A and B are shown apart, each in its own frame.
Chain A
Amino acid sequence: MIEEFVLRALLGGTGVALVAGPLGCFVIWRRMAYFGDSLAHSALLGIALGVGLGMDLNLGIMAAFVVFALLLVFLQNQQRVASDTLLGILSHGALSLGLVAISMMEGTRVDLLGYLFGDILAVTWIDLIWIYGGGAVALGLLAFIWGGLLAVTIHEELAQAEGVPVFAVRFVFMLLIALVIVIAMKIVGILLVTALLIIPAAVARRFARTPEQMAAGAAGAGVIAVVGGIGASLAWDTPSGPSVVLVAALMFLLSISLPGGRGVL
């Protein structure tokens, strides 16, 4: 008989993987892996904010994301340093500030390791509602902007000339990344959340002939990684988040060493 907490973990992980896969495809097509990583790092600051102010943690994280995004856009417009340098500064600055802030809160017990590396086996039914509710919204929005986002990814100006509302599409895409990071954090944690976005997508690349096939394949690969990772975690008592990511990474190595396919990665 399967234990209930295992069932919740499997359900939660599957829910996250189903959303992260398709969205992750756009993250790698648009070369935004580093952006996702930076955004995730700023989540710890949001948690500190939430704990410190006694508000809902998800709201705290969203607030941190908004501040992060505004700061990023503002500093990018200043053009003092290159974009990736800026992302690095903001990302590690936010992570460190979060760590310092949490360490200064006496009396409050914050499961730091859980936030950093995820604790999939501690997923609650409430978390599942967040994951499936948020996930359904994210997938719905992604489906809605799919064509436009694809056009923008191929060539932004061409899309604009052809009447795609480029700004709106990009804005919604950013929102989606933020949303998925929030719900995926529970599974793999802040430090590994980008892995769940990009590795399944990279695995699927090898076998896809269309963007849509790749998105579906990424969702599937993510689910396999989650199930395999949770299984490994239970069997060998390894940390759950890193186990999921490791299974995904192994799948990627396997996929590029398989003969045939289209080894372009």
Chain B
Amino acid sequence: MSANAEGRALIEAREVSVRLGKREVLESVDVRVNPGEIVTLVGPNGAGKTTLVRVLLGIVKPDSGRVLRREGLSVGYVPQRLQVDQTLPLTVRRFLTTGHGSDANAISHSLAEVGAGHLDDTFLHDLSGGEFRRVLLARGLLRNPGLLILDEPVSGVDITGQFALYDLISRIRKERGCGVLLISHDLHIVMASTDRVICLNRHICCSGHPESVMRDPAYVGLFGERASQGLAVYAHSHDHSHEPEIVEGAQNR
């Protein structure tokens, strides 16, 4: 992840470190996303994934290191959680206009693109988990993004819905040619549609093609032996399976 592709990247974080209070959340992290590339950031809870996203979005200033953005890059950000108070009446269409003032055609188009055209006049509160995810994605697409940043884009969605959403994301990438940075704590399904995996646990443990990352000792150390065997239903227990000692071991690359 060095200078060989300099200038081609949509966005690049260089030796980014972030401290929250006394805790070092990110230690000298390098990340880049090239045009048309799907990069998946995996790591256990508390690994600093969301902080890294905030740094890339410019919401959090790194304590050291810097973020380089391609000039004029438009970023579509889809947050992990978005909960609107029950008392706020928002239809899907009105939701999509907040913060943009986009025209009606663009909204219809982006809703159709994510297969949510029929939800136009539905209240946000009445959407299912999968529908809500699609609407969030449509909001990100409205900005005509060169880069999509998706924080846990399938959370709260059943397994079939997760596959459908990942299909949708890779189709969007193909049709729009935009870069995608995907954040996940659940890697098995992710692996299928991604070009490059970055394994984060405050620092970068390992990165590369999904197949090679799966076999990387650092990855195995972080997520446990079973995670590398491609068990499709093995999804959530890795949050608890990595011991601090093992993580330390993984750091000695």
Interface residues of A (CB under 8 A from B): 28-31, 147, 150-151, 153-155, 157-162, 164, 201-202, 205, 208-211, 213-214, 262, 264-265
Contacts and interface: CB of A to CB of B under 8 A. Distances in A.
A30 B79 CA distance: 19
Contacts of B100: 162
Identify the 5 closest CB pairs spanning chains A and B, nearest first.
A151-B99, A161-B57, A29-B88, A161-B77, A208-B89
B171 interface: no
Given A157-B54, A161-B58, A211-B94, A265 B86 contact: yes
B90 interface: yes
B86 to A, nearest CB: 5
Contacts of A155: 79, 82
Given A147-B99, A151-B99, A164-B99, A158 B89 contact: no
B59 interface: yes
Given A158-B99, A161-B58, A210 B79 contact: no
Contacts of B75: 161
Given A147-B101, A161-B57, A161-B58, A154 B87 contact: no
Contacts of A157: 54, 57, 59, 79
Contacts of A214: 88-89
Contact of A154 (B77, B95, B123, B125): B95
A158 B79 contact: yes
A158 B77 contact: yes
8 contacts: A28-B85, A29-B85, A154-B88, A158-B99, A160-B59, A161-B77, A201-B87, A210-B91
A176 to B, nearest CB: 18
A129 B130 CA distance: 52
B231 interface: no
Interface string B126-166: 00000000000000000100000000000000000000000
B98 A151 contact: yes
Given A147-B99, A151-B98, A158 B82 contact: yes
A157 B123 CA distance: 22
Given A155-B82, A159-B99, A264-B125, A28 B77 contact: no
